[in-house]
Structure formats: structure tokens, C-alpha cells
Amino acid sequence: MVSPDVMIRLSGLVVRYGAFRAVDGLDLELYRGELFGLLGPNGAGKSTTVRVLIGQRRADAGQATIGGYDVARQWHRVKPLFGYVPDRDNHFDEFTGRRNLLIFADLYGAPRDRVVECLAAVELQEAADVQVRGYSMGMKKKLLLARALLHDPPVLYLDEPTANLDIHSCAIVHRILRDRVNAGKTVLLTTHNMVEVEAICDRVGIMTRGRLIALDSPLALRQQHTERKVDVVLTDGERFVFDLDRDEERGRLAELTRAGKIGSVHTREFDFHSTFLKLTGTEFD
């Protein structure tokens, strides 16, 4: 039984490239009004999952539905439901930003005023009549977002949406995404920016080797996988790391403190980045 709040549902999704299983039995539900971050190291299966959702790759097994419609079988119904921001720009470089949006607005049947609104939303009004080949990487990225918003889709997929963006532009994108989520839309983003994930995502799923290995809010994941370690520098300059969850290391630190050999102690702030590294098995000491 699918909850009416479920917007995207992946069940038993399998995608193979030859003998390699890029996605290996993925089960995932994304809700309306949710900003979901799909994370994982390179080759984990994130992009393949998105390719299935945008109809560019057929699943070898399992099913993907958006708004209750099967992506493979009801593609014509699925198509108007989403907007897609790819990781690399795909604009008509010889046209202006405005012309690019006008073409897609005409394809979507969106009113022309919507072009002005979307340009304003990503703060590209001043560059609207400049050829896209003169845009910076960040401007092109923002234009991609404006294009994806033209038809006000209930679902938005974003692949590395803030790569190459300055801090101000990142804030604009984050605001737009949060506004959409507040309006009950669903946003799925894939990113390697852990700070961004912690800042804006409601839930995250961490994939590795095609499987979902963790699924929860960033805060909950951090709490579940936190570690207590301190960096200690002795008075003679020697450095140590003590794991406070281990009795013997805790006792050794106490001895050094009593002997007056501690020069300085720094507690480690365990962030989401470390959680990610720990979960995906790519942590290094």
C-alpha cells in the first residue's frame, strides 16, 4: 500500500551494465514536501538511479513510480511531473539566456511571463539578453535551474546543483529549493557537498556499490554514527589521538593529565562529512 504522501517510489530497482550491478535492489520512498539528498562515492549508483527516474535508462528489474505513474510504462504522464538540472550545462550557447528559456517555455506551454519570473528567481535578469556562451559556469548552472522551474513541476531532480556557484548564488539556490519544499514539492538532489546536505536536506540516503546503506535525516545519521575522539599534544611536542569510548585510552589520557604532560587537548567536532566517510568505508586516519 503506497502512502498518498509518497511522490517517488523505487522498489527492488536493479540496473546492470554488463555484469556490473550499478543499482542493486534499491528500495526508496520520497515524500511530498521533502528535500532528499542522495549521496555516495563515485560509482555508487546515484546518477544511474536518477537516469532511471528521468527515463533515460530502463531498469533491469524493479519499478520506479512518480506520483503513482510508472516511469517505464506511463512515461508520457511522468514527463510533465519533473524538472531536471543536469550536472553539466546543456543550453543553446548561441542564444541568449532569455531565448533559451522562451524556447522551453513554448515547449512546456508555460506563459511567457514565467520566463521573467524564473530569470528573476535565479537573479539573471541583467544577463538575460547576453548570449549564453558569455555566461560563467555558475550563471549557466542557475539558468539550468530556471529552465527546470519553468513549468513549476511537482518534482525536481538536481545533479550537483551548487557546483561552481559562489556563496551568494548557493544561498539563492538553497532558498529556491526550500521554498519549493515548503510549497509541497519534492526535491531530489545528488551532491558531494556535505555542508549543503546538512544545511538543507530533510533526509539523506547514502548509497555505495548500488545499495542503500543508510537512510535518515542528517542529524540522526550523525548522532547514530558519532565518535568521541580528542587530539592531544604533549608538552614535548608528541601528538596522540585518544578514543574516549575505549577504557584503556581514557585511562592513559587521565594518567598523562595527572603527570602534567598535556600541552593541549582538542575535541573533534564530528560532522556529517565524517559520518559519510565512515558509512561508505572510505574513512582514513
**Site residues, another protein (CB under 8 A):** 54-56, 76, 79-80, 84, 86, 88-92, 94-95, 99, 103-104, 106-109, 147
> Do 101 and 132 contact (CB within 8 A), yes or no?
no
| Smallest distance, another protein to C-beta of residue 71, A | 12
CA 56 to chain centroid, in Å, comes to 19
| Smallest distance, another protein to C-beta of residue 146, A | 13
Question: In this complex, which beta carbon is closest to another protein, that of residue 31 or of residue 95?
Answer: 95
First to last CA, the chain: 45
**Who contacts 96 (Cβ-Cβ below 8 Å, separation ≥6)?**
128, 129, 130, 131, 132
Question: In this complex, which beta carbon is closest to another protein, that of residue 46 or of residue 151?
Answer: 151
Distance CA 264, CA 116 (A): 57
CA angle 273, 275, 276 (to 5 degrees): 65
| Smallest distance, another protein to C-beta of residue 17, A | 15
Question: In this complex, which beta carbon is closest to another protein, that of residue 41 or of residue 55?
Answer: 55
| Smallest distance, another protein to C-beta of residue 114, A | 14
Grid coordinates in use for 186? 519534492
Residue-wise over 100-130: b if at least 16 C-beta within 10 A, else e?
Answer: bbbebbeebebeeebbeebbebbebeebbee
**Who contacts 46 (Cβ-Cβ below 8 Å, separation ≥6)?**
38, 39, 40, 190, 207
Of 98, 115, 173, whose CA–CA distance to 141 is shortest?
Answer: 173
| Smallest distance, another protein to C-beta of residue 107, A | 4
Of 26, 33, 27, 25, whose CA–CA distance to 7 is shortest?
Answer: 33
Distance CA 52, CA 66 (A): 11
Question: In this complex, which beta carbon is closest to another protein, that of residue 59 or of residue 206?
Answer: 59
Distance CA 164, CA 166 (A): 7
| Smallest distance, another protein to C-beta of residue 234, A | 56
| Smallest distance, another protein to C-beta of residue 111, A | 13
